[in-house]
Amino acid sequence: MTNPTPQEARSQIVGLIREFVQRDVEPVVARYDKEDIYPSELVDRMAEMGLFGITIPESYGGLGLDYTTFAMVFEELSKGWMSLTGPIGSHHMMAYIVATFGTEDQKRNLLPRMATGEVRGGLAMTESEAGSDVQNIQMTATKDGDEYVLNGSKMFITNAENGSAFVVIVKTDRDAHPPHRGMSCLIVEKPLEGLSVGRHLDKLGYRGLDTSELLFENCRVPAGNLVGEVEGRGFQQVMGGLEGGRINIAARAVGVATAAFEAAISYAQKRKAFGKPIAHHQAIQLKLADMATKIRAARLLTYDAAAKKDTGERADLEAGMAKLFASEVCGEVTLEAMRIHGGYGYVKEYTVERYYRDAPLMIIGEGTNEIQRLVIARRLLEEYAL
Ligand SMILES: Cc1cc2nc3c(=O)[nH]c(=O)nc-3n(C[C@H](O)[C@H](O)[C@H](O)COP(=O)(O)OP(=O)(O)OC[C@H]3O[C@@H](n4cnc5c(N)ncnc54)[C@H](O)[C@@H]3O)c2cc1C
Protein backbone atom coordinates (compact mmCIF):
# COMPACT_ATOMS: atom_id res chain seq x y z
CA MET A 1 0.00 0.00 0.00
CA THR A 2 1.30 3.48 -0.85
CA ASN A 3 1.52 6.17 1.79
CA PRO A 4 -1.26 8.78 1.62
CA THR A 5 -0.36 12.09 -0.04
CA PRO A 6 -0.35 15.14 2.29
CA GLN A 7 -3.78 16.12 0.89
CA GLU A 8 -5.18 12.62 1.55
CA ALA A 9 -3.72 12.57 5.07
CA ARG A 10 -5.22 16.01 5.65
CA SER A 11 -8.73 15.10 4.53
CA GLN A 12 -8.60 11.82 6.49
CA ILE A 13 -7.71 13.53 9.73
CA VAL A 14 -10.17 16.39 9.22
CA GLY A 15 -12.91 13.84 8.43
CA LEU A 16 -12.08 11.88 11.60
CA ILE A 17 -12.31 15.02 13.70
CA ARG A 18 -15.62 16.03 12.14
CA GLU A 19 -17.07 12.63 13.07
CA PHE A 20 -15.58 12.85 16.56
CA VAL A 21 -17.10 16.30 17.10
CA GLN A 22 -20.56 15.23 15.91
CA ARG A 23 -20.62 11.92 17.75
CA ASP A 24 -18.78 12.63 21.02
CA VAL A 25 -18.58 16.38 21.53
CA GLU A 26 -21.91 17.90 20.47
CA PRO A 27 -24.01 15.83 22.91
CA VAL A 28 -22.00 16.94 25.98
CA VAL A 29 -20.63 20.37 25.20
CA ALA A 30 -23.46 22.45 26.72
CA ARG A 31 -23.21 20.68 30.08
CA TYR A 32 -19.42 20.68 30.19
CA ASP A 33 -19.35 24.37 29.32
CA LYS A 34 -22.01 25.27 31.90
CA GLU A 35 -20.50 23.20 34.70
CA ASP A 36 -16.87 23.98 33.76
CA ILE A 37 -16.02 20.27 33.51
CA TYR A 38 -12.60 19.25 32.16
CA PRO A 39 -13.33 16.89 29.23
CA SER A 40 -10.86 14.13 30.23
CA GLU A 41 -12.37 11.38 28.09
CA LEU A 42 -12.56 13.64 25.00
CA VAL A 43 -8.94 14.68 25.48
CA ASP A 44 -7.94 11.00 25.80
CA ARG A 45 -9.75 10.32 22.50
CA MET A 46 -7.79 13.16 20.92
CA ALA A 47 -4.57 11.55 22.16
CA GLU A 48 -5.65 8.23 20.58
CA MET A 49 -6.24 10.07 17.28
CA GLY A 50 -2.63 11.30 17.43
CA LEU A 51 -3.55 14.96 17.90
CA PHE A 52 -0.88 15.50 20.56
CA GLY A 53 1.71 14.67 17.92
CA ILE A 54 0.34 16.39 14.80
CA THR A 55 3.34 18.62 14.19
CA ILE A 56 5.96 16.57 16.07
CA PRO A 57 8.38 15.08 13.51
CA GLU A 58 7.78 11.42 12.60
CA SER A 59 11.35 10.62 13.67
CA TYR A 60 10.26 11.44 17.24
CA GLY A 61 6.99 9.51 17.08
CA GLY A 62 4.67 12.30 15.87
CA LEU A 63 2.53 12.56 12.74
CA GLY A 64 4.80 15.25 11.28
CA LEU A 65 1.89 16.95 9.51
CA ASP A 66 2.15 20.43 8.06
CA TYR A 67 0.78 23.66 9.55
CA THR A 68 -2.06 23.83 7.06
CA THR A 69 -3.37 20.52 8.39
CA PHE A 70 -2.70 21.75 11.91
CA ALA A 71 -4.86 24.84 11.20
CA MET A 72 -7.66 22.72 9.70
CA VAL A 73 -7.65 20.46 12.77
CA PHE A 74 -7.95 23.46 15.10
CA GLU A 75 -10.72 24.92 12.96
CA GLU A 76 -12.73 21.69 12.98
CA LEU A 77 -12.38 21.15 16.75
CA SER A 78 -13.37 24.77 17.40
CA LYS A 79 -16.54 24.40 15.36
CA GLY A 80 -17.56 21.85 17.98
CA TRP A 81 -16.04 23.33 21.12
CA MET A 82 -13.12 25.76 21.16
CA SER A 83 -12.02 24.54 24.62
CA LEU A 84 -10.91 21.24 23.06
CA THR A 85 -8.07 23.02 21.31
CA GLY A 86 -6.64 24.16 24.68
CA PRO A 87 -4.98 20.88 25.72
CA ILE A 88 -3.16 20.61 22.38
CA GLY A 89 -2.53 24.31 21.60
CA SER A 90 0.17 25.25 24.08
CA HIS A 91 1.32 21.59 24.09
CA HIS A 92 2.33 22.16 20.46
CA MET A 93 4.09 25.41 21.28
CA MET A 94 6.14 23.57 23.88
CA ALA A 95 6.84 20.73 21.42
CA TYR A 96 7.90 23.26 18.78
CA ILE A 97 10.32 24.97 21.17
CA VAL A 98 11.86 21.62 22.19
CA ALA A 99 12.00 20.32 18.59
CA THR A 100 13.46 23.54 17.20
CA PHE A 101 15.78 24.75 19.93
CA GLY A 102 16.29 21.74 22.23
CA THR A 103 19.33 19.49 22.42
CA GLU A 104 19.15 15.97 20.96
CA ASP A 105 18.81 14.55 24.49
CA GLN A 106 15.91 16.89 25.26
CA LYS A 107 14.15 15.92 22.03
CA ARG A 108 14.61 12.19 22.60
CA ASN A 109 13.48 12.44 26.18
CA LEU A 110 10.36 14.51 25.61
CA LEU A 111 9.03 14.45 22.06
CA PRO A 112 8.04 10.76 21.79
CA ARG A 113 6.15 11.01 25.09
CA MET A 114 4.55 14.28 24.02
CA ALA A 115 3.50 12.78 20.68
CA THR A 116 1.44 10.05 22.36
CA GLY A 117 -0.05 12.44 24.91
CA GLU A 118 1.63 10.61 27.79
CA VAL A 119 3.25 13.97 28.52
CA ARG A 120 0.85 16.89 28.09
CA GLY A 121 2.61 20.19 27.83
CA GLY A 122 2.14 23.90 28.23
CA LEU A 123 3.97 27.19 27.95
CA ALA A 124 4.37 29.33 31.06
CA MET A 125 5.27 32.87 30.20
CA THR A 126 2.73 35.32 31.65
CA GLU A 127 3.00 36.58 35.23
CA SER A 128 0.54 38.60 37.29
CA GLU A 129 2.50 41.81 36.52
CA ALA A 130 3.83 40.88 33.08
CA GLY A 131 1.62 39.82 30.18
CA SER A 132 2.20 41.91 27.06
CA ASP A 133 5.43 43.19 28.59
CA VAL A 134 7.14 39.79 28.62
CA GLN A 135 10.55 41.28 29.37
CA ASN A 136 9.22 42.46 32.73
CA ILE A 137 8.86 38.92 34.14
CA GLN A 138 10.21 38.50 37.65
CA MET A 139 10.53 34.73 37.94
CA THR A 140 14.14 33.65 38.34
CA ALA A 141 16.28 30.56 37.91
CA THR A 142 19.59 30.62 39.74
CA LYS A 143 22.36 28.23 38.85
CA ASP A 144 23.50 26.10 41.80
CA GLY A 145 26.07 23.49 40.80
CA ASP A 146 24.50 21.37 38.10
CA GLU A 147 20.97 22.51 38.92
CA TYR A 148 18.78 25.59 38.50
CA VAL A 149 16.67 26.78 41.42
CA LEU A 150 13.36 28.29 40.27
CA ASN A 151 11.40 30.89 42.25
CA GLY A 152 8.34 32.90 41.26
CA SER A 153 4.89 32.39 39.82
CA LYS A 154 3.12 32.26 36.47
CA MET A 155 -0.41 33.45 35.77
CA PHE A 156 -3.13 32.34 33.27
CA ILE A 157 -1.40 29.07 32.42
CA THR A 158 -3.38 26.81 30.13
CA ASN A 159 -3.12 23.14 31.16
CA ALA A 160 -1.57 24.10 34.54
CA GLU A 161 -3.68 21.48 36.32
CA ASN A 162 -3.99 18.77 33.68
CA GLY A 163 -0.66 19.26 31.95
CA SER A 164 2.43 17.43 33.14
CA ALA A 165 5.32 19.39 31.60
CA PHE A 166 5.97 23.03 30.79
CA VAL A 167 8.46 25.25 29.11
CA VAL A 168 8.86 28.07 31.63
CA ILE A 169 10.48 31.37 30.73
CA VAL A 170 12.56 32.83 33.53
CA LYS A 171 15.32 35.34 34.18
CA THR A 172 18.72 33.69 34.51
CA ASP A 173 20.38 37.13 34.55
CA ARG A 174 18.38 39.86 36.25
CA ASP A 175 20.85 42.61 35.30
CA ALA A 176 20.96 41.97 31.55
CA HIS A 177 20.29 44.89 29.19
CA PRO A 178 18.09 44.70 27.26
CA PRO A 179 16.30 42.36 29.69
CA HIS A 180 15.52 39.71 27.05
CA ARG A 181 19.24 38.86 26.94
CA GLY A 182 18.89 37.53 30.48
CA MET A 183 15.83 35.37 29.75
CA SER A 184 15.96 31.60 29.34
CA CYS A 185 13.57 28.68 28.88
CA LEU A 186 13.60 25.74 31.27
CA ILE A 187 11.72 22.47 30.98
CA VAL A 188 9.87 21.42 34.12
CA GLU A 189 8.05 18.17 34.58
CA LYS A 190 5.59 17.22 37.30
CA PRO A 191 5.84 16.02 39.97
CA LEU A 192 8.45 18.47 41.13
CA GLU A 193 9.10 19.42 44.71
CA GLY A 194 8.15 23.06 45.27
CA LEU A 195 5.90 23.26 42.18
CA SER A 196 2.20 23.67 42.91
CA VAL A 197 -0.91 24.81 41.08
CA GLY A 198 -2.50 27.99 42.42
CA ARG A 199 -5.93 29.44 41.72
CA HIS A 200 -8.19 27.84 39.10
CA LEU A 201 -9.57 30.84 37.16
CA ASP A 202 -13.33 30.99 36.60
CA LYS A 203 -13.64 32.25 33.01
CA LEU A 204 -16.31 33.87 30.81
CA GLY A 205 -15.67 31.39 28.00
CA TYR A 206 -13.11 28.72 27.11
CA ARG A 207 -14.81 26.81 29.90
CA GLY A 208 -13.94 23.29 30.99
CA LEU A 209 -10.30 23.91 30.23
CA ASP A 210 -8.00 24.69 33.15
CA THR A 211 -6.35 28.10 33.22
CA SER A 212 -4.51 28.52 36.51
CA GLU A 213 -1.50 29.84 38.34
CA LEU A 214 1.73 27.87 38.66
CA LEU A 215 3.76 28.52 41.80
CA PHE A 216 7.47 27.73 42.07
CA GLU A 217 9.20 27.74 45.43
CA ASN A 218 12.84 26.64 45.43
CA CYS A 219 12.16 24.12 42.65
CA ARG A 220 15.32 22.36 41.54
CA VAL A 221 15.72 21.11 37.99
CA PRO A 222 18.87 19.69 36.36
CA ALA A 223 20.92 22.22 34.36
CA GLY A 224 20.28 19.90 31.38
CA ASN A 225 16.66 21.14 31.39
CA LEU A 226 17.75 24.51 29.99
CA VAL A 227 16.35 24.53 26.44
CA GLY A 228 19.27 24.15 24.03
CA GLU A 229 21.56 24.31 27.07
CA VAL A 230 22.19 28.00 26.35
CA GLU A 231 21.19 30.88 28.59
CA GLY A 232 19.77 34.15 27.25
CA ARG A 233 17.88 32.72 24.27
CA GLY A 234 14.53 32.19 25.98
CA PHE A 235 12.82 35.26 24.53
CA GLN A 236 13.66 34.31 20.91
CA GLN A 237 12.70 30.67 21.58
CA VAL A 238 9.28 31.67 22.92
CA MET A 239 8.69 34.16 20.09
CA GLY A 240 9.42 31.33 17.61
CA GLY A 241 6.80 29.20 19.36
CA LEU A 242 4.28 32.03 19.25
CA GLU A 243 4.21 32.01 15.42
CA GLY A 244 2.57 28.57 15.49
CA GLY A 245 0.51 29.69 18.48
CA ARG A 246 -0.92 32.60 16.50
CA ILE A 247 -1.82 30.35 13.58
CA ASN A 248 -3.64 28.07 16.01
CA ILE A 249 -5.54 31.02 17.51
CA ALA A 250 -6.48 32.27 14.03
CA ALA A 251 -7.74 28.79 13.11
CA ARG A 252 -9.79 28.57 16.30
CA ALA A 253 -11.33 31.94 15.47
CA VAL A 254 -12.25 30.75 11.96
CA GLY A 255 -13.82 27.62 13.47
CA VAL A 256 -15.93 29.47 16.05
CA ALA A 257 -16.97 32.12 13.50
CA THR A 258 -17.99 29.41 11.02
CA ALA A 259 -20.07 27.60 13.63
CA ALA A 260 -21.79 30.91 14.53
CA PHE A 261 -22.44 31.70 10.87
CA GLU A 262 -23.88 28.23 10.18
CA ALA A 263 -26.17 28.53 13.19
CA ALA A 264 -27.30 31.97 12.01
CA ILE A 265 -27.99 31.07 8.37
CA SER A 266 -29.97 28.05 9.46
CA TYR A 267 -31.99 29.99 12.06
CA ALA A 268 -32.66 32.83 9.60
CA GLN A 269 -34.42 30.43 7.24
CA LYS A 270 -36.65 29.02 10.01
CA ARG A 271 -37.56 32.08 12.05
CA LYS A 272 -40.45 34.08 10.64
CA ALA A 273 -41.17 37.77 11.19
CA PHE A 274 -43.63 39.99 9.30
CA GLY A 275 -44.99 36.97 7.44
CA LYS A 276 -41.76 35.55 6.02
CA PRO A 277 -38.50 33.92 7.12
CA ILE A 278 -36.13 36.62 8.40
CA ALA A 279 -33.60 35.40 5.79
CA HIS A 280 -35.89 37.03 3.20
CA HIS A 281 -35.45 40.44 4.81
CA GLN A 282 -32.65 42.30 3.12
CA ALA A 283 -31.14 43.59 6.38
CA ILE A 284 -30.50 39.98 7.45
CA GLN A 285 -29.13 39.04 4.00
CA LEU A 286 -26.60 41.87 4.22
CA LYS A 287 -25.39 40.53 7.56
CA LEU A 288 -25.09 36.98 6.20
CA ALA A 289 -23.14 38.16 3.18
CA ASP A 290 -20.71 40.20 5.28
CA MET A 291 -20.24 37.40 7.79
CA ALA A 292 -19.45 34.76 5.15
CA THR A 293 -17.13 37.09 3.24
CA LYS A 294 -15.14 38.01 6.34
CA ILE A 295 -14.85 34.38 7.44
CA ARG A 296 -13.57 33.38 4.03
CA ALA A 297 -10.95 36.13 4.12
CA ALA A 298 -9.94 35.08 7.65
CA ARG A 299 -9.60 31.44 6.61
CA LEU A 300 -7.45 32.36 3.60
CA LEU A 301 -5.18 34.55 5.74
CA THR A 302 -4.84 31.66 8.21
CA TYR A 303 -3.93 29.13 5.51
CA ASP A 304 -1.54 31.68 4.00
CA ALA A 305 0.27 32.03 7.36
CA ALA A 306 0.32 28.24 7.76
CA ALA A 307 1.79 27.80 4.27
CA LYS A 308 4.49 30.38 5.06
CA LYS A 309 5.32 28.59 8.32
CA ASP A 310 5.59 25.32 6.35
CA THR A 311 8.36 26.82 4.21
CA GLY A 312 10.47 27.12 7.38
CA GLU A 313 10.86 30.86 6.82
CA ARG A 314 10.05 33.52 9.39
CA ALA A 315 6.23 33.82 9.51
CA ASP A 316 5.59 36.33 12.29
CA LEU A 317 4.07 38.92 9.94
CA GLU A 318 1.66 36.48 8.31
CA ALA A 319 0.78 34.76 11.60
CA GLY A 320 0.21 38.12 13.29
CA MET A 321 -2.05 39.34 10.48
CA ALA A 322 -4.04 36.10 10.47
CA LYS A 323 -4.48 36.15 14.26
CA LEU A 324 -5.47 39.83 14.30
CA PHE A 325 -7.95 39.62 11.44
CA ALA A 326 -9.51 36.24 12.24
CA SER A 327 -10.05 37.03 15.92
CA GLU A 328 -11.67 40.40 15.18
CA VAL A 329 -13.88 38.72 12.57
CA CYS A 330 -14.80 36.07 15.11
CA GLY A 331 -15.83 38.77 17.61
CA GLU A 332 -17.97 40.54 14.99
CA VAL A 333 -19.54 37.41 13.51
CA THR A 334 -20.50 35.88 16.85
CA LEU A 335 -22.25 39.13 17.82
CA GLU A 336 -24.03 39.27 14.45
CA ALA A 337 -25.10 35.64 14.85
CA MET A 338 -26.58 36.53 18.23
CA ARG A 339 -28.43 39.50 16.72
CA ILE A 340 -29.87 37.28 14.00
CA HIS A 341 -31.15 34.96 16.74
CA GLY A 342 -32.82 37.92 18.50
CA GLY A 343 -33.69 37.19 22.14
CA TYR A 344 -33.06 33.48 21.66
CA GLY A 345 -29.41 34.23 20.88
CA TYR A 346 -29.00 35.54 24.40
CA VAL A 347 -30.07 32.36 26.17
CA LYS A 348 -28.07 29.21 26.75
CA GLU A 349 -30.49 27.01 24.83
CA TYR A 350 -28.83 28.20 21.61
CA THR A 351 -25.15 27.66 20.85
CA VAL A 352 -24.50 31.22 19.65
CA GLU A 353 -24.42 32.40 23.26
CA ARG A 354 -21.36 30.15 23.84
CA TYR A 355 -19.65 31.22 20.62
CA TYR A 356 -20.04 34.85 21.69
CA ARG A 357 -18.44 34.11 25.09
CA ASP A 358 -15.59 32.11 23.51
CA ALA A 359 -14.65 34.75 20.91
CA PRO A 360 -12.81 37.31 23.12
CA LEU A 361 -10.13 34.82 24.14
CA MET A 362 -8.84 34.87 20.57
CA ILE A 363 -8.60 38.69 20.75
CA ILE A 364 -6.62 38.58 24.01
CA GLY A 365 -4.64 35.31 23.96
CA GLU A 366 -1.24 34.72 22.32
CA GLY A 367 -0.60 38.47 22.42
CA THR A 368 -3.48 40.94 22.49
CA ASN A 369 -4.57 42.46 19.20
CA GLU A 370 -3.07 45.81 20.24
CA ILE A 371 0.31 44.08 20.58
CA GLN A 372 -0.36 42.18 17.36
CA ARG A 373 -0.72 45.47 15.49
CA LEU A 374 2.57 46.68 16.96
CA VAL A 375 4.32 43.48 15.82
CA ILE A 376 2.85 43.84 12.33
CA ALA A 377 3.81 47.52 12.10
CA ARG A 378 7.36 46.81 13.28
CA ARG A 379 7.80 44.16 10.61
CA LEU A 380 6.32 46.43 7.92
CA LEU A 381 8.67 49.24 8.87
CA GLU A 382 11.59 46.82 8.56
CA GLU A 383 10.40 45.65 5.19
CA TYR A 384 9.67 49.12 3.83
CA ALA A 385 12.57 50.92 5.55
CA LEU A 386 13.77 53.90 3.51
C1 LIG B 1 -7.83 32.01 28.99
C2 LIG B 1 -6.41 32.45 28.91
C3 LIG B 1 -5.40 31.52 28.70
C4 LIG B 1 -4.05 31.91 28.68
N5 LIG B 1 -3.07 30.97 28.54
C6 LIG B 1 -1.77 31.34 28.68
C7 LIG B 1 -0.73 30.35 28.71
O8 LIG B 1 -0.96 29.15 28.55
N9 LIG B 1 0.55 30.76 28.91
C10 LIG B 1 0.87 32.08 29.10
O11 LIG B 1 2.04 32.37 29.29
N12 LIG B 1 -0.10 33.04 29.07
C13 LIG B 1 -1.40 32.70 28.88
N14 LIG B 1 -2.39 33.67 28.87
C15 LIG B 1 -2.02 35.05 29.10
C16 LIG B 1 -2.20 35.97 27.89
O17 LIG B 1 -1.23 35.69 26.94
C18 LIG B 1 -2.16 37.41 28.43
O19 LIG B 1 -3.35 37.62 29.17
C20 LIG B 1 -2.04 38.43 27.33
O21 LIG B 1 -0.78 38.35 26.73
C22 LIG B 1 -2.25 39.86 27.86
O23 LIG B 1 -1.49 40.10 28.99
P24 LIG B 1 -2.17 40.77 30.28
O25 LIG B 1 -3.37 39.98 30.59
O26 LIG B 1 -1.15 40.91 31.34
O27 LIG B 1 -2.62 42.20 29.80
P28 LIG B 1 -1.72 43.53 29.79
O29 LIG B 1 -0.40 43.27 29.19
O30 LIG B 1 -1.76 44.11 31.16
O31 LIG B 1 -2.55 44.45 28.81
C32 LIG B 1 -3.71 45.20 29.24
C33 LIG B 1 -4.17 46.04 28.06
O34 LIG B 1 -3.13 46.98 27.69
C35 LIG B 1 -2.80 46.82 26.33
N36 LIG B 1 -1.38 47.10 26.13
C37 LIG B 1 -0.32 46.60 26.84
N38 LIG B 1 0.83 47.09 26.33
C39 LIG B 1 0.51 47.90 25.30
C40 LIG B 1 1.26 48.68 24.37
N41 LIG B 1 2.60 48.70 24.39
N42 LIG B 1 0.58 49.39 23.44
C43 LIG B 1 -0.77 49.35 23.37
N44 LIG B 1 -1.53 48.62 24.22
C45 LIG B 1 -0.90 47.89 25.17
C46 LIG B 1 -3.16 45.38 26.00
O47 LIG B 1 -3.35 45.18 24.62
C48 LIG B 1 -4.43 45.22 26.79
O49 LIG B 1 -5.50 45.80 26.07
C50 LIG B 1 -3.73 33.30 28.84
C51 LIG B 1 -4.76 34.24 29.02
C52 LIG B 1 -6.07 33.84 29.06
C53 LIG B 1 -7.15 34.86 29.29
Best residue among 364, 369, 375 to mutate for probing ligand 1, ranked by most atoms within 8 Å of CB: 364
In this structure, whether the domain defined by 236-383 belongs to CATH 3.40.50.261 is answered with no
- The pLDDT-based confidence of 7 (bands split at 50, 70, 90) is confident
pLDDT at 1: 60
pLDDT at 4: 79
- For residues 209 and 21, give the distance between their C-alpha atoms in angstroms, rounded to a whole number: 17
Helix pair 352-364, 316-340: axis angle to 10 deg: 150
CB count within 10 Å of CB 274 equals 7
Question: Is 121-232 the same fold as 6-116?
Answer: no
Domain residue spans in the chain? 6-116, 121-232, 236-383
- For residues 237 and 334, give the distance between their C-alpha atoms in angstroms, rounded to a whole number: 34
Q: How far is CA 296 from CA 303, 322, 326, 337, in A?
A: 11, 12, 10, 16
Which residues have C-beta atoms less than 6 Å from ligand 1? 90, 122-126, 131-133, 156-158, 203, 206, 211, 361, 364-365, 367-368, 370-371
Give the mean model confidence (pLDDT) for residues 296-320: 97
Classify 6-116 by CATH class. Answer: mainly alpha
Best residue among 36, 123, 126 to mutate for probing ligand 1, ranked by most atoms within 8 Å of CB: 126
pLDDT at 9: 84
How many Å lie between the centroid of ligand 1 and the Cα of residue 245?
Answer: 14
pLDDT at 6: 79
Give yes or no for residue 2 having a pLDDT over 80.
no
Q: What is the pLDDT of residues 192-205, one digit of tens each?
A: 999 999 999 999 99
Amino acid at 31: R
Give the mean model confidence (pLDDT) for residues 292-301: 99
pLDDT at 338: 98
Give yes or no for residue 304 having a pLDDT over 80.
yes
Q: What is the pLDDT of residues 82-127, one digit of tens each?
A: 999 999 999 999 999 999 999 999 999 999 999 999 999 999 999 9
Classify 121-232 by CATH class. Answer: mainly beta
Give the mean model confidence (pLDDT) for residues 44-56: 96
Q: Of 9-13, 17-21, 51-55, 154-158, which range is least confident?
A: 9-13
Q: From the alpha carbon of 203, which atom of ligand 1 is closest?
A: 1
How many Å lie between the centroid of ligand 1 and the Cα of residue 39?
Answer: 25
Q: Is 366 a catalytic residue?
A: yes
